[in-house]
Each structure stands twice: as C-alpha cells, then as structure tokens.
Structure 1
Amino acid sequence: MSDDTEMVQRGLGILTATLSWESDDPAATQMFKESLKALVRVDDAVSVSFSGSSPEQVAVLREILPQVVTQVIEALAPDYTRLVLGMAAGFKTVADAYQRDVPDADIQGILQAAALNLAKGE
C-alpha cells in the first residue's frame, strides 16, 4: 500500500472512530482522542539533499536538520489536530442527521466499503 493510500485509509479510520464519539461523554471523547493518536502519523524519515555546500556546511546541516524538522512538526501539529477535529465534528453532525433520516443506514459499512474500494484500486 502506498503512503498516500495509507493516509487516506487512516482518514477513513478517523471518520469511523468519529461515529462513536459523543462530545458530551468524557469517556467517549477520551476514546476518540486516543483513536486519533493511533491513526494520525508523522513520518520520521525526511530526506534532504544538499548541493553546492562544503562538506563542513553539509555536516552542520545534517546535525541541526532533525531538530528543525521536529520544531516545524510541533508548530504545525496543533493546527493539524484542530483541522482534523473540525472535519470529524462536521462529519459526525452529517452522519447523525443521516442516521435520523435513514435509521437503517449502515454508515460504518459505507466507510468500510470505501476503504476496501481504495485498497482494491492500488
């Protein structure tokens, strides 16, 4: 499975976890947050090439680059988390409304079918 497909699959996993999230239930909210932590991933493998630099400059860059990347990720993570939570809250609202209008709707089944179709498409 490609990294792109895996991230889309993780997105579907987040939506599936959202279905059981009840914002007024602290235990359900905690379970949802734990699901997000398990499903969201940040790659450690970052590849950067240097050209036109002296060996000394390359050595210094290789030494400080991991710290810079970590700081960038930490700076972006709160916004990314809020974005995902906002999308999940919107999805939950739509899914709840759909479930009220169509009580027999199998929303989890729809998400599972989407994940299977995505996996077949690879």
Structure 2
Amino acid sequence: MSDDTEMVQRGVGILTATLSWESDDPAATQMFKESLRALVRLDDGLSVSVSGGSPEQTELLREVLPQVVREVIEALAPDYTRLLLGMAAGFKTVADAYRRDVPDADIEGILQAAALHLAQGE
C-alpha cells in the first residue's frame, strides 16, 4: 500500500470515528485531538541531497537538516491538528443533519465502501 493511499485511508478512518464523537465531551475531544496528532509522521528515513559546497559543509547539512525538518513538522502539527479537527467537526455536523433528514442513512456504509474502494485501487 502506498503512503498516499494509507494516509487517505487514515482520513476515512478519522471521518468514521467522527460519527461517534461528541464534541461537548472534553475527554472525547482530547482523545480525538491526540488521534489527529498521531497522523504526523516524523520519518527517520529522511534523505537530504546537497550539491555544491565543501564535503564538510555537505556533511554538516546532512546532519542538521533532518532535525530542522522534524522541528518544522512539530511546529506545524498543532495548526494541522486544529485544521483537521475543524474539518471533522464540519463533517459531523453535515452527517448529523443527513441522518435527521434521511433516517435510514448509512453513512458508515458509505465510508466503508470508500475505504474498500481505496484498498482495491492498490
């Protein structure tokens, strides 16, 4: 499975979890935020290509840049977590309204079909 497909499937999983999330429950909201933070991957296999400069400069950049990238990702993670939380809250609002208007709506089934479609696309 490609990393792209895996991340999309994780997104579908978040939407599925969102269906049972109660935003007025602080513990559930905190758990939901933690699950979103877990999506931020800090890949130890980060590769850096450097051209030009001395061999010493190249080696120093190879040592320093992965840590800088990790720090940037960690700094941006809270913003992306809030963004995803907002998107999930919006999805939940739409899903709840759909369930009110269409009592036999199978939103979970729709999301499950989307996940299966993604898996078959690999």
With normalisation by structure 1, the TM-score equals 0.90
Structure 1 partner of 2:54 = 54
Q: Distance in 2 between matches of 1:46 and 1:86?
A: 30
Tell me the secondary structure at the aligned position of residue 28 of structure 2: helix
Contact 2:18 2:89 in 1 (8 A): yes
Q: Work out the number of aligned pairs and report it.
A: 121
Structure 2 partner of 1:24 = 24
Correspondence 1:65-76 to 2 at 5 A: 65-76=65-76
Q: Which runs of 4+ in 1 moved over 4 A?
A: none
- What percent identity do the matched residue pairs reach? 83
Q: 1:35 to 1:78 in 2, by over 3 A?
A: closer
Deviations 1:15-73 (A, max 9, x none): 111111111122332332343344x1314132211111211001111221122112211
What 5-or-longer segments of structure 2 have no aligned partner?
Answer: none
With normalisation by structure 2, the TM-score equals 0.90
Q: Distance in 2 between matches of 1:117 and 1:66?
A: 35
Q: Distance in 2 between matches of 1:66 and 1:82?
A: 25
Structure 2 partner of 1:41 = 40
Tell me the secondary structure at the aligned position of residue 15 of structure 2: helix
Q: Distance in 2 between matches of 1:36 and 1:17?
A: 11
Structure 1 partner of 2:11 = 11
What 5-or-longer segments of structure 1 have no aligned partner?
Answer: none
Does 1:107 find its partner at 2:102?
Answer: no
Q: Distance in 2 between matches of 1:3 and 1:119?
A: 12
